Amino acid sequence: MPELKRQDIQQINNTASHLAGLTQTLFEYHEKLDHFQLKTLCALVYDLSSQIHSWTEREEEIVLKLEEERRNG
């Protein structure tokens, strides 16, 4: 069985920072953006939020398995 290790949080922090920047851009400029620009930014927001969600799901699995291993000795 492979050794379980917690994931590096730095990459997900960068992703969250990009997501925050994109959402701020959407909030500030949504009325000035054309349909294509708005659709593109929304797609990027969706992709980044999906990456964050996947990371948290994997991290939760790792933590639960590590806790179970600790309980079982």
Note if the pTM is more than 0.75: yes
Mean pLDDT of the residues in the chain: 91
Q: Copy the structure tokens of residue 42.
A: 């929304």
DSSP notation for the chain: -PPP-PPPSHHHHHHHHHHHHHHHHHHHHTTTS-HHHHHHHHHHHHHHHHHHHHHHHHHHHHHHHHHHHHHH-
Residue 67 pLDDT > 60, yes or no? Answer: yes
The pLDDT value given to residue 8? 83
1-36 pLDDT, tens digit each: 567 778 888 999 999 999 999 999 999 999 999 999
47-59 pLDDT, tens digit each: 999 999 999 999 9
